[in-house]
């Protein structure tokens, strides 16, 4: 493995393991939690998005959109190095690499991917917009339209998950990358955004039980603060 394949700004100590470039935001947590859950060896590198690390050209060379997380795996298929960004793509790659947390049966696999795309297309973007207007804009709002819009949409999405979890421990029949992708965002609403009461999250009993069940997993606990400030 040639070290030149790694961004040189972030020194690599163990070049034969997966290199993780991330920060402990919900999107970043997905991958570090999955790496812990799957028992994969990796070396973490903090990409501090608060100080603009994501705009560094070396980081953009492995994440063209300048977003975390990204990985470089020196032990990809056929012995080739794999560079990936986009958290869902990374989760699918790691699941396929290890044969864990994503079934290979076609129909079951597509159902998992459907719910993974639900997280990517709705849970992440909408909850992120909610957090922006609720936590960071606050009194700067000229009216309540934006906050009301994203509050209502976040509650609607929580109700979708809550209904899905009727008589189920996890989003799918067993714990999977779908749960890993979703729970950091739900926890973010309750903890980082401090919006548990505002969103009336206690009324979504299935969601509350599920996110605690996932958050209590040793791998979740070990992975959630990787690449933290």
Cis peptide before 69 (omega within 30 of 0): yes
CA 102 – CA 94 distance, rounded (Å): 9
> What does the pLDDT look like over 20-42, one tens digit per residue?
999 999 999 999 999 999 999 99
CA 156 – CA 200 distance, rounded (Å): 12
pTM above 0.75, yes or no: yes
Model confidence at 1: pLDDT above 80: no
Cβ atoms of 91 and 98 within 8 Å: the answer is: no
Closest C-alpha among 38, 177, 62 to residue 108: 177
Domain 106-220 has what CATH class? mainly alpha
Domain 3-100 has what CATH class? alpha beta
Cβ atoms of 158 and 204 within 8 Å: the answer is: yes
Kind plus residue range of the DSSP H or E element containing 98: helix 87-98
Residue 65 is predicted with a pLDDT of 98
Q: What is the mean pLDDT of the chain?
A: 95
What is the mean predicted confidence (pLDDT) over 97-117? 98
Domain ranges of the chain: 3-100, 106-220
Phi, then psi, of 165 in degrees rounded to 5: -85, 5
* 29 Cα distance to chain centroid: 5
Of 2-6, 37-41, 128-132, 201-205, which range is least confident?
2-6
């Amino acid at each position: 493995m040639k070290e030149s394949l790694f961004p040189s700004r972030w020194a690599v100590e163990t070049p034969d393991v997966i290199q993780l470039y991330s920060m402990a935001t919900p999107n970043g947590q997905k991958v570090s939690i999955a790496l812990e859950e799957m028992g994969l060896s990796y070396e973490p590198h903090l990409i501090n998005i608060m100080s603009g690390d994501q705009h560094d050209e070396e980081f953009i060379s492995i994440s063209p959109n300048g977003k975390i997380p990204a990985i470089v795996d020196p032990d990809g298929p056929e012995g080739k190095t794999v560079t990936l960004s986009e958290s869902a793509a990374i989760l699918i790659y790691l699941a396929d690499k290890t044969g864990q947390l994503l079934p290979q049966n076609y129909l079951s696999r597509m159902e998992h991917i459907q719910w993974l795309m639900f997280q990517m297309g709705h849970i992440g973007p909408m909850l992120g917009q909610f957090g922006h207007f609720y936590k960071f804009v606050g009194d700067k709002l000229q009216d309540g339209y934006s906050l009301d819009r994203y509050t209502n949409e976040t509650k609607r999405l929580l109700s979708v998950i809550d209904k899905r979890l009727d008589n189920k421990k996890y989003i799918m029949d067993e714990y999977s990358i779908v749960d890993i992708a979703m729970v950091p965002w739900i926890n973010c609403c309750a903890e980082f955004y401090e919006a548990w009461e505002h969103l009336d999250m206690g009324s979504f009993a299935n969601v509350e039980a599920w996110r605690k069940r996932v958050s209590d997993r040793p791998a979740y606990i070990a992975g959630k603060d990787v690449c933290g400030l």
